[in-house]
Structure 1
Amino acid sequence: MTKTPTPRTLRVALIQDADQGSVDANLARIEQRVGDAAAQGAQLVLLQELHNGAYFCQHESVDEFDRAEPIPGPSTERLGALAKKHGIVIVGSLFERRAAGLYHNTAVVLERDGRLVGKYRKMHIPDDPGFYEKFYFTPGDLGFEPIDTSVGRLGVLVCWDQWYPEAARLMALAGAELLLYPTAIGWDIDDSEDERSRQRQAWILSHRGHAVANGVPVLSCNRIGHEDSPLGTSGIRFWGSSHVLGPQGEYLCEANTENAEVLVCDVDLQRSEHVRRIWPFLRDRRIDAYGDLLRRYRD
């Protein structure tokens, strides 16, 4: 008889919120919300993408580069102090200034003692109406490397990465125990209700697919609220729906689509071992037949 692995429970929190209007206001709000999460016993907190301000990529303007900062820098210092205060691991998302004219969309991981223990630079960069990220962000060059922390090995990815099964797979192959996605995604409010529903459901299905295919929990933290476009178009209404999934794609918890929320739930990290025993997808991969995945397209 197969012995069920002993549970190893991790309490996680996702901070779903709207832009508060300034860096200081957003970080103050994060400090409050992380305190709330810590009071509920959270050991790991995931923040949304580019949480220090509005989603500025709705247009292309050189002035927006003034938002960027070095890593380590002021925000990592503040988040590190917050992590140390509550003895909690924090995954944040910042606009990184690496050098003059060289910028990244970068996730950072702060250990419970306040140290910056790792970062991930967003690898897949979109360029779509309302999401003009290629103007601002250089594609990441750190690869798909999990970050070891006191709460586990974290496979940190960022937003647009969520559409790529290769990214999730490579993190899982490197031993990630969780996949985490800071996210900023929403609707063009001029879209029909049917189109909005299709987009949101596709987004959720992509995360559930990553959980199932890799046998690992998935955390995705999205922002909420309407943000006007500087171009005079309708802007973006971010759809929230932050969620935590188990290794069979099952919902462990889900936030609403409209309001700020501190989403807290427990994740059994050992459950992945059990799921991978009954669904041994990594065992059955035909790595001898996947060479064409390195091609852009098979003509």
Structure 2
Amino acid sequence: MNRTVQVGIIQQQNVADVHSNRATIATKVKSLAEEGAKLVVLQELHDTPYFCQTEDTDLFDLAEPIPGAATEFYSHLAKEHRVVLITSLFERRSAGLYHNTAVVFEKNGTMLGKYRKMHIPDDPGFYEKFYFTPGDIGFEPIDTSIGRIGVLVCWDQWFPEAARLMTLAGAEILIYPTAIGWSDMDDHAEQIRQKDAWIISQRAHAVANGIPVVSVNRVGRELDPSNSTSGIQFWGNSFVAGPQGEMLYEAPSDQEAIRVIELDMTRSEQVRRWWPFLRDRRIESYDGLLKRFLK
């Protein structure tokens, strides 16, 4: 029997006001649900601007406990529109202990589970190690009414180990809420190389694991509050790839976008029969992967 999933994605430019961002998201979720979306994916840290451009202890005030006001809002939104909703929140676990956390809601509003970002970058303009403790709940897919989904977050998307472990635990779709963009210090050619590498790496996860990938990025320029740089131009290009890496949809790099994309979930079964990578893995020979480096 054929099985399809209607996936809605929201690529947007954020403003400083949390309530305004949430209102925009609510309007777009409603629109996607009316178009038939059963799963809606939001971008990384969608409630606020990307605050990690600077190191500022006052910005920890943006974090909220889970459950809390943010999860209450998104629980209601998922229930109102009968969609499985993937959110990305700044979690306050305790004083001095914070995570970059994806939370998954069922179409009845139930909070099904969460994933705490495991790989934390620390680069100019992306000072995430200052804000986020690495995740401690592993790579565990979450069962939903549309299937078992493996949610990872942004920097995780560069690590094939994360995608593989989610797949080995039964994930049927890999989902990446993302916030990635360009620095003006890089010339145009370098910017294109970066964007292409970002897309290629995730399409490779789809191919290597034989499952679809949904990657949702933010878009637009966000200024550096410290004025030490010109900010980040988030490059959009949210996309959905099928189990052979085939591009099913790609958003523009310079404007907001919402779209419903149909995933043929039965195709993954066929692709894995043609290309049985999981069968041919030499698991007895991979001990070196547990080492930092082999020399």
Bin of the TM-score, shorter chain as denominator length: over 0.9
Q: Which residue of 1 aligns with 2:59?
A: 64
SS of the residue corresponding to residue 59 of structure 2 reads helix
* Runs of 4+ more than 4 Å apart: none
CA drift of 1:230 comes to 2.0
CA drift of 1:263 comes to 1.9
* Residues 28-61 of structure 1: per-residue CA shift (max 9 Å, x gap): 0000000010010000000000000000000101
Aligned length: 294
Percent identity over the alignment?
62
CA drift of 1:104 comes to 0.1
Give 2:235's aligned amino acid: W
Aligned Cα root-mean-square deviation (Å) = 0.6
Give 2:225's aligned amino acid: P
CA contact (8 A) 1:254 1:263 kept: no
Instruction: Indicate whether 1:114 and 2:114 are aligned.
Output: no
Q: Which residue of 2 aligns with 1:148?
A: 143
Give 2:283's aligned amino acid: I
Alignment equivalent of 2:273, drawn from 261, 277, 286: 277
Task: Determine the C-alpha separation between the residues in 1 that align with 2:2 and 2:197.
Answer: 31
Provide structure 1 residue ranges, at least 5 long, that are not aligned to the other structure: 1-5
Q: Which residue of 2 aligns with 1:3?
A: none
CA drift of 1:254 comes to 1.1
Q: Which residue of 2 aligns with 1:49?
A: 44
CA drift of 1:234 comes to 1.3
CA contact (8 A) 1:38 1:88 kept: yes
CA drift of 1:189 comes to 1.9
Task: Determine the C-alpha separation between the residues in 2 that align with 1:12 and 1:125.
Answer: 27
Q: Which residue of 1 aligns with 2:223?
A: 228
Give 1:238's aligned amino acid: F
* Residues 145-172 of structure 1: per-residue CA shift (max 9 Å, x gap): 0000001101000000000000000000
Q: Which residue of 1 aligns with 2:73?
A: 78
Q: Which residue of 2 aligns with 1:91?
A: 86
Q: Which residue of 2 aligns with 1:213?
A: 208
Task: Determine the C-alpha separation between the residues in 2 that align with 1:216 and 1:288.
Answer: 24
Could you tell me the TM-score, scaled by structure 2's length? 0.99
Instruction: Indicate whether 1:202 and 2:190 are aligned.
Output: no
Task: Determine the C-alpha separation between the residues in 2 that align with 1:259 and 1:36.
Answer: 18
Task: Determine the C-alpha separation between the residues in 2 that align with 1:255 and 1:42.
Answer: 17
Q: Which residue of 1 aligns with 2:253?
A: 257
